[in-house]
Amino acid sequence: MMIGAIVGDYAGSAYEFHSTHDYCFPIITPDSGITDDSIMTVAIMDAILQGKPYGERLRYWGNKYPTPKGGYGGSFAAWLRSEKPQPYNSFGNGSAMRVSPIGWVFEMLKETLREAQKSAQCTHNHSDGIKGAMATAAAIYYVRNGKSKEFLRQYVEKEFGYNLSRTLSDIRPSYGFNESCQGTVPEAIICYLESSGFEDAIRLAVSLGGDSDTLACITGAIAEAGYADGISAQLVEAAFSTMPEELKNIVEQFYSKFNLYSYGKA
């Protein structure tokens, strides 16, 4: 099994509240493990596999694993517990960190964008929350279909208004913890644009600081599409060793059903 979002989440998890700006940070540590980012990503996979509403599966798995590493945001946790859950106008980066399965499986961009919007709206119905999910899914869609980094840069800037002309050197000095889509998604895309391989992309993301697990989760999802055979088996094994068996099984089913092993298998 191999999925860039989960590996990125794992790699960034040890640094979420202890930022590092060292590119050579230890990428496998005793403190590393999957977080809510991976659990919610798998929930989106499960929704697609079963043809069920995204919100239903998010609530099912969120309530089954109510205290993941890093924890859920307060509003999302309340939504999980609510008897009558309603979207809460969030523009947090949770909509973008969980959307990657949608970027992989739909054949048309229009369909990809529509499903990304649906996956966000059950919680993140703020326009920026929706935009973050759509931009992430579209980036994965285009990269897995062979579009260049320059195409991706121009498309995202034109369609979503994110400034991707900045460099990581420009961003790093003033970048801090930011849980918003608008403060995470463009930075994650830039990490991919500046990268030379999968692990390089993850290291760039984590060493930027901030919300490192989510930043690396989004970056990793895009980088998986761009660097098909570039994820080391050791890193995959380390990440998935921290995942409950039933969640691993969903990933396996998802990759098998949609024949995603052609993009790389450890």
In sign, the C-alpha dihedral spanning 223, 184, 254, 115 is negative
Half-sphere exposure at residue 162, Cβ-oriented, CA atoms within 13 angstroms: 25
Distance between CA atoms of residues 208 and 151, nearest Å: 24
What pLDDT, on a 0 to 100 scale, did the predictor assign at position 1? Answer: 40
Domains of the chain by range and CATH?
Answer: 4-255 (1.10.4080.10)
Distance, in Å, from the CA atom of 13 to the CA atom of 105, rounded to the nearest integer, reads 26
> Which residue shows structure tokens 């490192």?
212
The residue type found at 247 is: L
pLDDT of the residue at 2: 54
- Cβ-in-10-Å burial (0-12, 13-18, 19+) of 180 comes to middle
Assess contact for 221 and 12: CB atoms under 8 A.
Answer: no
The sign of the CA dihedral 253, 254, 258, 263 is negative
Spell out, as residue ranges, where the chain has pLDDT lower than 50: 1, 262-266
* pLDDT at residue 24 in the model: 98
- Output the CA torsion 56→59→62→66 (10° steps): -150
Which residues, at least 6 apart from 207, have a Cβ–Cβ distance to it below 8 Å?
20, 21, 22, 23, 25
- Which pLDDT belongs to residue 260? 85
